[in-house]
Amino acid sequence: GNATVGGVLTYEDVTRVDSVGVITAREQVHVGTGVSIAAGGLNVTAGISTFQAVTGTTGTFSGDVSIADKIIHTGDTNTAIRFPAADTISAETAGVERLRIDDNGRLLLGSTSARVESNGFASPLQVEGTSTATSSVIIARNSANASSSQLIFQKSRGTSVGSNTVIQSGDAVGTIIFEGSDGTNTDSLASIIGACDGTPGTNDVPGRLVFSTTADGSASPTERMR
């Protein structure tokens, strides 16, 4: 039948506890060689769940860990990795979301929803803010030579990731587009295009730069200089 102990019940040199029902641990459970939970797994439903390995060791889960909302940093509960919606991951510091990967795999910095540009697609990497500091990207290089940081655009005519199918004359290889809001969406007001300017050969890819601006009353840029 039932056994009720009013004081503290101490198990010494126990290597196995076999329970068919529910085990409730109200304080700490100390097991020298670790705790093994099989079959139905471990289900914690109330409060903040804390798993602390013995100092100098690592807590290991051999299966999936199911979390309803977030993983928080011990002693720093406003820093978290969250799952705010289906197929979405976010990271927070100081209680503010800083980064999000949405359900389409887009990386959003400073925003919770992706912007769509004038050609109708949403870039997989987006930075948005309300100041220069929060809406800028820095690429820095530190080296004792004359070389700089680089922003590189590449293109092939292949149809799979990693392809190197040769491009053709007239192919645009990289485009910088400048867009402004018209009160409803954003439209292109200028662009700089790097394009192939002849037939490529081995280690021989001729190129041109095309500078375009949008005239008043128009919705797209027109080439002005190359």
**pLDDT tens digits for range 112-128:** 999 887 777 888 899 98
Q: Does residue 59 or residue 89 have the better pLDDT?
A: 89
Q: What is the pLDDT of residues 174-210, one digit of tens each?
A: 999 999 988 888 889 999 999 999 999 999 999 999 9
- The structure's pTM equals 0.69
pLDDT at 1: 82
Percentage of the chain lying above the pLDDT 70 cut: 82
- How remote is the C-alpha of 193 from its chain's centroid? 29
Q: Residue 211 in contact with residue 226, Cβ under 8 Å?
A: yes
What is the model's pLDDT at position 68?
A: 85
CB 98 within 8 A of CB 108: no
Q: What angle do CA 120, 126, 127 make, to 5 degrees?
A: 135
More confident residue, 197 or 39: 197
pLDDT at 75: 87
For residues 45-58, give the mean pLDDT.
Answer: 63
More confident residue, 94 or 65: 94
**Rounded Cα gap, residues 53 and 113, in angstroms:** 38
Q: Confidence class of residue 52 from pLDDT cuts 50, 70 and 90? A: low
Tell whether the model's pLDDT for residue 38 goes beyond 70: no
Q: Is the pLDDT of residue 212 over 80?
A: yes
Mean pLDDT of 27-51: 61
